[in-house]
Amino acid sequence: GDVAPEPDSSTGLLQLSLQGTPHRVAGTVQGSTPVLRELNGATFKQPVPLAGPILIYRAKATEPNALPTLAGLLGKAGIQLQSYHSSSTVAGEKWSVVGLSAPLSNLSELKAQATEVFQLHL
């Protein structure tokens, strides 16, 4: 990716285009932890730590059921929600990034509430 200095920081801003996907991400490194600042033009008010199992989903900003559905799935699987970050709205949709204690094995119920869902283990 490209590294450019941030206006208010001595660290660089990292921008990536993930091969094989339409996603563009931008972030920095805080200490030794990479953090997400932007995903496909949607910004996060607080930097999102990219560590451990992470679930990322995009849903309509007016969709009220995605987070309760996720909470129910986590409860059934015995997985703890460790962090939750929601982006600004772009084209009527928001990205959510959820830190988990373990990956979810079945995303089908959440996929019914979201435009896109994927997991990463970093």
pLDDT of residue 11: 52
pLDDT of residue 36: 92
Domain coordinates in residue numbering, the chain? 15-120
- Per run of 10 residues, the mean pLDDT along the chain (length 122 residues) is 45 56 81 90 93 93 88 93 95 95 90 88 84
The CATH superfamily assigned to 15-120 is ACT domain (3.30.70.260)
| Cα 91–chain centre separation | 17
